[in-house]
Amino acid sequence: MEKFTTLKDTAVPLDIENVDTDQIIPARFLKATDKAGFGENLFRDWRFDKYDKLNPDFVLNQDQYSGSILVAGNNFGCGSSREHAAWALKAYGFKVVVSSYFADIFKGNSLNNGLLPVQVSPEFLEKLFIAIQKDSEEKIKVDLENQKIAITSTGESERFNIDPYKKTCMINGFDDIDFLVSKLEAIKNYENNKKTTPASVGV
Amino acid sequence: MKKTLFDKIWDSHIVESIPDGPDILYIDQHLIHEVTSPQAFNELKERDIPVFRPQQVVATADHNTPTQNQHLPVQDLLSRKQLKELTHNCEENNITLYGLGHPYNGIVHVMAPELGITKPGMTIVCGDSHTSTHGAFGTIAFGIGTSQVAQVFASQCLLVEKPKKLRVNVNGKLKNGVLPKDVILYIISKLGTNSGTGYFCEYAGDVFENMSMEGRMTVCNMSIEMGARGGLIAPDETTFEYVEGREFAPKGEDFEQLKTYWKTLKTDEDAVFDQEYSFDAEDIEPMITYGTNPGMGIKLSGSIPVEGGKSDAKALQYMGFKPGEILLDKPINYIFIGSCTNSRIEDFRTAAAYIKGKKKAENVNALIVPGSRQVAAQIEEEGLRAIFEEAGFTLRQPGCSACLAMNDDKIPAGEYCVSTSNRNFEGRQGQGSRTILASPLTAAATAVAGKLTDYTKQLN
Ligand code: SF4
């Protein structure tokens, strides 16, 4: 997994609430059996109309906005557990998603793929939207080490939370599989002990 | 310390707790399907790690399968490739697969319970958010992403933080015509789609105690739609009776011994929940959704709320509805009875009982998709097929079908579909499709009337 420490970049404002994973990557694009290539179909039905023509009203199609930070409305990533949503965002080029709320599974999936979900207060989210919409060149700084997100022009900042274990993983670029495989002895011991409890009969 | 049902199961599955971090949680049963597993198998292959406990994994093909001519080669090339890869991966790793055409094939959350794979007190995961369904048995069951599928392959464990605990109580007597689907749609309409985020939800109260296992599955299935990782209901005699005698359920002495243990799986008297809500059964009526998330629900006879935020306006525009509008008598051209929420035999019995002797309206396309081969066989045996066909309904072969429209079962753009599935997101049932979530009874009545109709007066 790619390491993440700090990032200073412009952002794309997606001022929509309850963005579900069916919007992030519609089901008809889930047929691929590898992870590459999902970026093309990110927000497919918002980016393109039904004739596959670019929808100029959608923020990802507006030239003034670019960058590796996506700032989105409340409750981002709800719905299906498809990790394809995190892959699509990552493949498109996003490294950070900011929202005032993330759905659990999406959050976990993002962290497992080196895409940092930054949860901020609704007030700070509003400030972010205002700053970016005022000046699309506005740089947002995300500092994982110090768990801080800041708006460069105004200097306003907020602290965000992240599980300490996940933080270490992101900073060092290692993931849960590496960790769990290092624990196989403990897992086998657990299995052996469990055999003597009624809970394991027939399991 | 007093423990909740959830604590009891969770705590007994902790291999190790990482200080300041997640728990290493042992997973008893891992269920997989064709769409979210291939990348996980690849991940393992790339790292040269074997599947640690293949005998604790069961696979099915359901999400991306056709519901017609399942005996023929799958037409869609990408789907065929996905299925082939699943077969290949299962063979290579010694994993049991109930593929297309196998008598045990079905939607993963229908197949596992009906085979007795799902039992109380277990931890079950699957790369599908509606894994919460299995919570109906007093099980900790939740959906995971593909990276986590790979973790479970590699270690039969997951690194997860223990969620907070939520309890939803519903007591009283349900009105005639109010089904488990209405109960859960009602709860979600009251609590919203993210009130459950960070929580595991226990459903308690006599409404759930008096519910069949299939009804409980419908309820737990939609826990994720209020944001909860999962939902569960304490196992009781109804649960034990359901499990006993099923294909992979323990038999004889083993079963009795387990039952003694299962009986301890309930929340202690004074255990504390982080959050608790209570509702009266008498307040619940048949429900429908009017928007593009499952929390946007109203009574079938109700009107769309006038006050809403900006996301409401966007949803109403998509749906072609207006604030304050009453949806009763709205013409509907499509109905779908199926999905892991409502595709078990009771759902089809309910629908058939209403449909019997009636005909679907001319304008309606009525699609019925059983949850599994076994349910399909029951439909045959109980003579329900004839009822559906005489009424002009189309009965298909099992699979996820129009729930997520990965295959050809799609609702055309702009059309409304009264659907027994669990998600009404934009385009979920096909690009531009407009989904109205409801119970199998509401779907059946809509098909007959050709419009949303208040059928409760016809029931006795
Ligand atoms: S029926 Fe729908 S919700 Fe259920 S497993 Fe299939 S796609 Fe997922």
Q: What are the E-state strand segments in B108-197? A: 123-126, 140-143, 157-160, 164-171
Q: What is each CA distance from B321 to B146, B290, B414, B452, in whole angstroms?
A: 37, 8, 12, 14
pLDDT of B71 above 50: yes
pLDDT per position as a tens digit, B294-322: 999 999 999 999 987 767 899 999 999 99
Quote the CA–CA distance of B57 and B365 in Å, as a whole number: 38
Strand partners, B435: B417
Amino acid B115: pLDDT = 97
A18-25 mean pLDDT: 93
Convert the pLDDT of each residue in B411-448 to its tens digit. Answer: 999 999 999 999 999 999 999 999 999 999 999 999 99
- Coil, helix or strand for A50? coil
- Could A108 and B18 be called an inter-chain contact, meaning their C-beta atoms sit closer than 8 Å? no
According to DSSP, the β-strands at B157-160 and B164-171 are unpaired
C-beta of residue A149 within 8 angstroms of C-beta of residue A140: yes
Contacts of B182 (CB under 8 A, 6+ apart): B284, B285, B286, B287, B439
In chain A the beta strands, taken as DSSP E runs, fall at 6-9, 11-14, 69-72, 96-99, 116-119, 140-143, 148-151, 157-159
List of chain B residues whose C-beta atoms are within 8 Å of the C-beta of residue A22: 404, 423, 425-428
Q: pLDDT by residue (tens digit) across B28-51?
A: 999 999 998 999 999 999 999 999
Q: Of B238, B259, B116, which is closest to residue B180 (Cα–Cα)?
A: B238
All residues of chain B having their beta carbon less than 8 Å from the beta carbon of residue A79 are: 129, 423, 425
Residue the block writes with tokens 């900011």:
A98
* Tens-digit pLDDT profile for residues A154-196: 999 999 999 888 898 999 888 889 899 999 999 999 999 987 6
CATH number for the B290-458 domain, one of 3.40.190.290, 3.40.50.2300, 3.30.499.10, 3.40.50.300? 3.30.499.10
CATH superfamily of the domain spanning B1-285: Aconitase, domain 3 (3.30.499.10)
| pLDDT higher than 50, residue B291 | yes
Q: Quickly state the pLDDT bin for A35 (edges 50, 70, 90).
A: confident
Q: Is the pLDDT of residue B5 over 80?
A: yes
Residues A65 and A71: their CA atoms lie apart, in Å, by: 11
The domain ranges of chain B are 1-285, 290-458
| Pairing status of strand B297-299 against strand B287-289 | antiparallel
CA of B2 to the centre of ligand 1 (A): 36
pLDDT tens readout for residues B154-188: 999 999 999 999 999 999 999 999 999 999 999 99
Closest CB to A180: pick one of B63, B157, B261. B157
What's chain A's average pLDDT?
Answer: 91
**SS3 (DSSP) at B276:** strand
Question: How high is the pLDDT of residue A202?
Answer: 44
Does residue A199 register a pLDDT over 70? no
Q: How confident is the model at residue A30 (pLDDT cuts 50, 70, 90)?
A: confident
**Backbone angles phi and psi of B80, in degrees to 5:** -60, -40
Residue A26 forms contact with B (CB below 8 Å) = yes
**Taking the C-alpha atoms of A77, B226, B126 and A104 in order, what is their torsion angle to the nearest 10 degrees?**
40
The tens digit of pLDDT for each residue in B321-379 reads 999 999 999 999 999 999 999 999 999 999 999 999 999 999 999 999 999 999 999 99
The pLDDT of residue A197: 63
Q: Are A158 and A125 in contact (CB under 8 A)?
A: no
Percent of chain B at pLDDT above 70?
100
Instruction: Give the model's pLDDT for residue B408.
Output: 86
Burial zone of B53 (CB within 10 Å; 0-12 exposed, 13-18 middle, 19+ buried): middle
* pTM of the complete model: 0.89
Q: What is the pLDDT of residue A203?
A: 46
Cross-strand pairs, B123: B140
Binding-face residues of B in 268-307 toward A, CB within 8 A: 293
By the 8 A CB rule, do B288 and B438 touch?
yes
Question: Distance (Å, rounded) from C-alpha B78 to C-alpha B402?
Answer: 18
A76-86 pLDDT per residue, tens: 999 887 889 99
Which tokens hold the place of A6?
């700090």
pLDDT over 70, % of chain A: 96
Task: Give the nearest partner residue to A22 out of B63, B85, B427, using CB atoms.
Answer: B427
Amino acid letter, B25 = L
A residues 74-133 closer than 8 Å to B (CB): 75, 78-84, 86, 101, 103-105, 108-109, 112-113
Amino acid at B378: Q
Q: How far apart are CA B383 and CA B386, in angstroms?
A: 6
Residue of B400, B406, B429 best suited for mutating to test ligand 1, as the one with most atoms within 8 Å of CB: B400
pLDDT at position B1:
81
- In this predicted structure, the answer to whether residue A198 has a pLDDT above a threshold of 70 is no
**Chain B residue closest in CA terms to A76:** B194
Structure tokens at B173: 């007597």
- Determine if ligand 1 sits within 6 Å of the CB of residue B63: yes
